[in-house]
Structure formats: C-alpha cells, structure tokens
Amino acid sequence: MNDRQDQLILAVHVRGLDGMCAGCRAWWSRLTPYPCWQVDWATSREARTVTARFLEGVR
C-alpha cells in the first residue's frame, strides 16, 4: 500500500464512454458504474495523505 499503487489504480480505473469503469471491465470483465469502489478507496486514501502532509507542514 503506497502512493504509487494509488496512482496505478487511478490510472487504470477510468470512466468509460458508457459511464462504466473501464479498468474493472478490462481486468475483471465486470460492469461497474464509475467511480467504482477502488477509485473511491484510492482517492480517499489520497485525501488523507494530503491532509496529513498539510497538518505536518502547519506544525
């Protein structure tokens, strides 16, 4: 679990033309409405990291 993995997830799980997640379909042949839970997971992790860095800088 690191930032690079988050970036990979966000790079793969992109919105398809039909509004479904292209990454889920390509990797798992699943039709998942975008954003899928993996995008949610990666972005929420990212948000926490940014917040932590921000607090770190304030201190």
Q: Please name the residues in contact with 12: beta carbons below 8 A apart, sequence gap of 6 or more.
A: 22, 23, 26, 27
Query: Does 9 contact Zn ion by CB under 5 A?
Result: no
Build a one-symbol-per-residue string for 17-36: x at contacts with Zn ion by CB under 5 A, - elsewhere.
----x-xx-----------x
Compute the least distance from the CB of residue 19 to Zn ion, in Å: 12
- The CA-based angle 10-44-37, given to 5 degrees, is 60
Query: Does 13 contact Zn ion by CB under 5 A?
Result: yes
Taking a C-beta distance cutoff of 8 angstroms, is the pair 30, 44 a contact? no
Task: Return residues touching Zn ion (CB under 5 A).
Answer: 13, 21, 23-24, 36, 38
